[in-house]
Amino acid sequence: MARSKAAPFPPFVEPQLATLVSTAPEGDMWLHEMKFDGYRILMRIEGDDVRLFTRRGNDWTGGMPSLAKAAAELPVEDAMFDGEVVALRSDGVSDFQLLQNTLSSRGESKLVYYVFDVLFADGEDLRALPLLERKARLAEILKDADKQRFRLSDHVVGEGPAFFGKACELGLEGIVSKLADRPYRSGRNKDWLKTKCTKRQEFVIGGFTRPEGTRSHFGALHLGARDEKSGDLVYVGKVGTGFSTKSLGELHRRLEPLVVDEAPFRDPPGGAEAARSTWVKPVLVAEIDFTERTKDGMLRHPTFKGLRDDKVSAEVVVERPADRGRKKKRRS
């Protein structure tokens, strides 16, 4: 039986990541949680010192000072939590654009941290424990926490397809399914699976077109994703909807210093489209909603949802649902 153990408290732990699948898994060995539309944050508490880290280990404590201050009141001497910082609409659904607007307007005191795992607590390394045991420990820690700032990510056991269907009916992004008896394992693996209600993915911004009509700053963003084998930035189309007047201006200000002479894509658009385009270094990452991809890989009906400052452009590849690795039974 796995046990927690006394261990040195590391400054950071690489988070566990879910693998995209096309259907939610069945069976009572799986528990299922809502997939939140926010920023993945690991919270490290050591006495009065609280730090908030992105999945890449960047320190974002300064951008969420009231959340860090509230964490110092939790009943632990030291702890490391894994969860998602979100902004909630009036219907209780997390909204990424609302999150970005909240942060840019310095309204971060309205943010909520949904916690779904605890890795360390009071001198113990809990990562070897089964997930259900870690969640029980987490529930005990958070039972008296300020619910305006900290919420336990609830789960259901089994009934994955039904839970996924309900999540989609409620307009959620999707669900995350986790094997209940597994330890916490850093990196992407199939102990955690994610199933999405909508086709949403991050893409790298490689350029923009001139504005037309009453539009200001730019018309559309040129997008790409890395080829996993070659590392080349493959063109997937452009997005021209989902922007507000404010976001057009803010995005343009961030794109201007990145302007370069040549397109960063392996197969950039040419002709008249290239003539009205300005190319940029492939640094910024955008989150995009779309309905489907064409046979040649282009996005259909894309909509801009926001920038992902927590993501690194070199790691943005096209997400495709993975085979869960079920083996067919051999005939005797």
Q: Tens digits of per-residue pLDDT, 163-185?
A: 999 998 888 889 999 999 999 99
What domains, with CATH codes, occur in the chain? Answer: 14-35+156-196 (3.30.1490.70), 37-152 (3.30.470.30), 199-315 (2.40.50.140)
Catalytic site residue 35? yes
Q: What is the pTM of this model?
A: 0.78
pLDDT value, residue 324: 58
pLDDT for res 156: 94
If one counts every other C-beta atom within 10 angstroms of the C-beta of residue 209, the result is 20
With H, G, I as helix, E, B as strand and everything else as coil, classify residue 95.
coil
The pLDDT value recorded for residue 1 is 55
Q: How far is CA 9 from the centre of its chain?
A: 25
Number of other CB atoms surrounding residue 129 within 10 Å: 24
CA angle 241, 246, 251 (to 5 degrees): 70
Identified catalytic residue from 35, 178, 305, 311: 35
Per-residue confidence (pLDDT) for residue 2, from 0 to 100: 63
pLDDT digits (tens, 9 = 90+) for 250-307: 999 999 999 999 999 998 999 999 999 999 999 999 999 888 888 888 998 899 998 9
Residue 10 structure tokens: 């590391």
Q: Collect the ranges in the chain with pLDDT lower than 50.
A: 326-332
Round to whole Å and give the CA distance between 126 and 105. Answer: 37
